[in-house]
A and B are shown apart, each in its own frame.
Chain A
Amino acid sequence: MPLLPEPEPPARDSASRYRDPEWESPPWGEIPKIAAVDLLEASSRTAAVRVTAVRVNSSGCQFDVRALAKDNAWRLRDEAPRFGIVWPDATVVLPDAGLPAATDQPEGPCLVDRGDSYWLWPLPPPGKLTLLLDWPAMGIQETTTEIDTRILSEARAEVVHLWDDDSSPASS
């Protein structure tokens, strides 16, 4: 007779299914709107990195970052490009800095590294947002660009909201 108890079946109702808090990942059930492409890039003779797009959700936005190097071992050496944001009030927001426990809502903006993109929460207030990008391991110095947050708020109006929960729709 097995020692371990019978595993419980996976939750099927949305009420019991775990979802990341909104400051950690894009909301469920939305199709983001692309607000801009090719925002920022930097390159050397052996590597290049580009912020290829910003995708806006109702509660924040995602910056897609593509990196390419002749020596692809940087992925193994944990020498990824670095990305950051300067908030309209001049606060510097760096990835995963000051993230609270999962259940505590942070007081300020958060930038979460999601592998090939960065999730910025919340959407910034009116003003200018500065993007920072460098790749020290590849000899790429810091480069910046500034965007008007109006493009984000305008894109937010075009986010497609699909559903409020993730329960399976009733079969007909």
Chain B
Amino acid sequence: MTGFGIKLSAMLRGDSLDDPSRRFTAVRMGLVWPDGTKVFDPRTGPAGAAGSPRLGSRHGYGATGEYSWEWWVAPLPPQGDLTVVVDWAERGFGEARASFDTADLLSASARVISITSAEPDASEA
């Protein structure tokens, strides 16, 4: 209801990440908001202005040859096209991008299950 997660998965032929200490910065990801605002992970790009969309709380994990990264994006974008941009220079990937309509995100937010705002069970009273 307050944002959305993006998960990026990578498979590496051969060995593990070139430098495991860089597992949070090797892959760069950014977004282009429907109004044209560019949103970067502050670890790998410029921080946005106060009040602008945020990309953060990043996790990176995996084993040899297969890795995943997750970002939390807030707030939910308005209606329009959202563009995801990824590059991985040390693996020879130039910038790749894909756009999608935010309608799916916005409709999914209506199906979020919230348990933290629910009333306590009678057994807890």
Contact = CB atoms under 8 A, between A and B. Distances in A.
Given A45-B121, A46-B121, A168 B113 contact: no
Interface string B92-125: 0000000000000000100101011011110000
A68 interface: yes
Interface in B6-65: 9, 11, 13-15, 65
B115 A68 contact: yes
A133 to B, nearest CB: 13
Contacts of A162: 11, 13
A169 interface: yes
Interface residues of A, number: 22
Secondary structure at the B interface, as helix, strand, loop or mixed, is loop
A142 B12 CA distance: 39
A47 B14 contact: no
Nearest to A165: B13
Contact of B65 (A28, A31, A41): A28
A169 B14 contact: yes
Nearest to B118: A45
Nearest to A68: B115
Contact of A47 (B11, B13, B15, B115): B115
Interface in A22-68: 28-29, 31, 38, 41, 43-48, 50, 68
A41 B112 CA distance: 11
Contact of B115 (A38, A48, A139): A48
A45 B115 contact: yes
A139 B118 CA distance: 15
B60 to A, nearest CB: 16
Contact of A45 (B14, B15, B65, B119): B119
Contacts of B108: 38
A69 B13 contact: no
A169 B120 contact: no
A171 to B, nearest CB: 10
A41 B113 contact: yes
A139 B122 CA distance: 13
A48 B113 contact: yes
A167 B13 contact: yes
Contacts of A46: 115, 118, 120-121
Contacts of A168: 13-15
Interface of A: 28-29, 31, 38, 41, 43-48, 50, 68-70, 139, 162-163, 166-169
Given A45-B119, A45-B121, A47-B115, 8 more contacts: A31-B9, A43-B113, A43-B115, A44-B115, A46-B118, A162-B11, A166-B13, A167-B13
